[in-house]
Amino acid sequence: MSREFDKTICVAMTGASGIQYALRLIECLIKANCEVYVLMSKPARIVMGMDTDLNVPSRTAQVQSQFSESYGAREGQLKAFGQEEWTAPVASGSGAPDAMVICPCTTGTLASVAAGTCNNLLERAADVVIKEGRKLIVMPREMPFSLIHLENMTRLARAGVVIMPPNPAFYNLPETVDDLVDFVVARVLDQLDVKQALMPRWGIDES
3 inside domain: no
177 inside domain: yes
Looking at the 3D structure of the chain, how many domains does it have?
Answer: 1
206 inside domain: no
Q: Is the pLDDT of residue 194 over 80?
A: yes
How many C-beta atoms surround the C-beta of residue 47 within 10 A? 21
CATH code where residue 147 lies: 3.40.50.1950
22 inside domain: yes
Q: Which amino acid is at 53?
A: D
82 inside domain: yes
**Calpha distance 15→147 (Å, rounded):** 21
User: For the segment 22-47, what is each residue's pLDDT rounded down to a tens digit?
Assistant: 999 999 999 999 999 999 999 999 99
**87 pLDDT band (50/70/90 cuts)?**
very high
pLDDT of residue 201: 72
> Model pTM?
0.94
CA angle, 100 then 200 then 143, to 5° = 55
75 inside domain: yes
